Structure 1
């Protein structure tokens, strides 16, 4: 802000050199809700921050979709659980460095996500030199439905496993149970595009990378991410993993265990390659598991 003098009245005006006003509004709304003892209506938020109600509504809708705020019917908005997770105190130091080393070794984007009973939430992202992880910002979350979370599900409780298996669509139910055993045996989940979708996967990934997800409208980004996930989320079968065939490879996910021994997080690697050899897939598996094991080791209590 700078001030302009008009007679005896000093009126604040916006300085074009200041930081982005839209970004400032997001920060102010989050800070206000974080300090509020109870949910606040849109009208109250707008009045306290001296912004238009339409602006407050638009910002809150975006924050709600990310889980940073939660709408309480007839009461307003409060801070969301995903917001606290962005600075999860249980995460060990050095996570970013481990993911950066994984991305540098493989040339692929790498992420760390927390797996809660209902959501997969991205906590850390490191882009690879060859292709950024398209559309996966910190704080992004998706419902925990098959096959999301497959990297940790074999080590979760029977009730969580059963609830997760029930989310599998009919066409995938015959492989859902087998996937749990396969991931437990291999220590990693691998996914590939669904049949004949490889070309569309490459197109979507390249478009998201070229445009930069920060530049896309929120609704378009969400639609593109959902479509990309749907196209790339067919789990590998044991026969495919044991074969010598050249196969497409979308993502890998390996479990990370917290200090209490719970499989609470996933390391995810995104090659998004239309063709990989057995040796290339094995190299991705080794690198992903090694990163997950390094984070697990860092999470262990120090004696």
Structure 2
């Protein structure tokens, strides 16, 4: 029978995700194509995109299962009211906020709320990035020594020395704070404005990835202890605080993105306070066993 869906390509995605979600075992490309009565080439093309987004995972035997990004969006390990907490954080600060799962080898974005003061398109929900310095800095002080050593080893040059001191500072303050390098502040402002004007959804995937990677690179210099305590107005990129699950593991992080070329100390302190409050609220929800769907 002809496909009467208003959008056959979208229907294929829905059918494949639904099939994998209902299966307790990995399914091969041939098996998916056979069960859904679609061409193997079509199934392969859809699975390739889903795998890139983290919505499906590929097992060693070449079978596919639901991936970490999609499982994280609907899994029982997420705190109830997550969306409400992020929305409140964004409203309180006017900045975009994200919630991510931190695994030993990757960071996966699970929820995003845009700010009101300056809408800067960021990494989309389901996006995965390798866990390399400084990504994941907010949780690393509470991870095992082997994970810390692996993470520190990803830092290059002078950043290798910074990584060690950053772990101590984050454990002491409970938050990781980042800024652009002095020479990059103007470029950060320009790139953020361009992304906000164009919209990352209008960019081709490879251009979006390059733009977001460049923005992340330009904004990832950790604040030092002296800078955190300074009364001077300083550039401010992002803040991140750990969220602890029911076992006490720092499994997630809340990230806030002011992307300010100049932030007075009072504003920086408020951003830090707001981020920590949101992280504590989510940790408390997980500790109480109140988990469920993203709110």
* CA gap 1:296/1:41 in 2 versus in 1, 3 angstroms: closer
Q: Distance in 1 between matches of 2:186 and 2:11?
A: 40
Question: Residues 13-32 of structure 1 correspond to what in structure 2 (within 5 A)?
Answer: 14=4, 18=6, 20-32=7-19
Answer yes or no: is the 8 Å Cα contact 1:252–1:288 preserved in 2. Answer: yes
CA distance in 2, matches of 1:195, 1:57: 46
- Larger relative CO (CA 8 A, sep 6+): 1 or 2? 2
Does residue 169 of structure 2 align to residue 199 of structure 1?
A: no
Aligned to 1:130: 117
Quick check: 1:68 aligned with 2:55? yes
Check the 8 A contact 1:110/1:133 in 2, yes or no. no
Counterpart pick for 2:136 among 142, 149, 158? 149
1:235 aligns with 2:222: yes
1:213 to 2:200 alignment? yes
Match of 1:4 in 2: none
Given that 1:42 and 1:77 are in contact with CA atoms closer than 8 Å, whether structure 2 keeps it comes out as yes
Write the mapping of 1:161-172 to structure 2, written as runs, cut at 5 A. 161-172=148-159
- Does residue 1:96 correspond to 2:88, yes or no? no
Stretch of structure 1 that moved more, 148-157 or 20-29? 20-29
Q: Which stretch shifts more, 185-194 or 31-40? A: 31-40
Structure of larger gyration radius: 1
Q: Deviations over 1:238-276 (max 9, x none)?
A: 122222222111100011111221111111000111111
TM norm structure 1: 0.87
Task: Report deviation, 1:281.
Answer: 0.7
Q: Write out per-residue CA displacement over residues 82-139 of structure 1, whole angstroms, 9 at most, x where no aligned residue.
A: 3211123122212211111110010001111111111111112111112335232221
Report the CA distance between 1:190 and its aligned residue: 0.5
Query: CA RMSD for the aligned pairs?
Result: 2.3
The TM-score normalised by the length of structure 2 is 0.89
The equivalent residue for 2:209 is 222
Unmatched 5+ residue regions in structure 2?
291-295
